[in-house]
Amino acid sequence: MRTAAQTMALAIGLVIPLACGDEPPADEAMATDTEGGDGDGDGDGDGDGEPYGHENLHPDCIGDAPIVVFETTLGTMVLQLDGVQAPITTANFLGYVSSGWYDGTIFHRVIDGFVIQGGGFEPGMMLKQTVGTIPLEIDPELRHVDGAIAMARREDPDTAESQWYITDAVQPGLDDSYAVFGVVIDGLDVRNAISGVATHTVDWMGFPMDDVPVEDVVLTSAYCVTSWP
pLDDT digits (tens, 9 = 90+) for 116-164: 999 999 999 999 999 999 999 999 999 999 999 999 999 999 999 999 9
In this predicted structure, the answer to whether residue 16 has a pLDDT above a threshold of 70 is: no
In this predicted structure, the answer to whether residue 83 has a pLDDT above a threshold of 80 is: yes
pLDDT digits (tens, 9 = 90+) for 51-61: 999 999 999 99
Higher local confidence (pLDDT), 111 or 40: 111
| Weakest-pLDDT range from 22-26, 98-102, 160-164, 219-223 | 22-26
User: 15: which strand partners?
Assistant: none
Sign of the torsion formed by the C-alpha atoms of 125, 130, 132 and 137: negative
Q: Are 72 and 80 in contact (CB under 8 A)?
A: no
In a domain, 153, yes or no: yes
Domain count, the chain: 1
In the chain, % of residues over pLDDT 90? 77
Q: Read off the pLDDT of each residue in 86-91 and give the average, rounded to a whole number.
A: 98
212 to 3, 85, 202: CA distances (angstroms)? 18, 32, 7
In a domain, 49, yes or no: no
Give the CATH number, domain containing residue 102: 2.40.100.10
Closest to 162 in 3D by CA, of 125, 121, 203:
121
Q: Read off the pLDDT of each residue in 73-91 and give the average, rounded to a whole number.
A: 98
In a domain, 40, yes or no: no
In a domain, 181, yes or no: yes
In a domain, 20, yes or no: no
Backbone angles phi, psi at 172, to 5 degrees: -65, -25
Q: Which domain holds residue 203?
A: 4-13+63-225
Question: Residue 27: its pLDDT value, please?
Answer: 64
In a domain, 32, yes or no: no
In this predicted structure, the answer to whether residue 25 has a pLDDT above a threshold of 80 is: no
In a domain, 31, yes or no: no
Residue type for position 1: M
In a domain, 115, yes or no: yes
Mean per-residue pLDDT of the chain: 85
* Radius of gyration of the chain from its Cα atoms, rounded to whole angstroms: 16
Q: Read off the pLDDT band of 78 (50, 70, 90).
A: very high
Q: Read off the pLDDT of each residue in 44-53 and give the average, rounded to a whole number.
A: 71
What is the rounded CA–CA span in Å between residue 40 and residue 45? Answer: 7
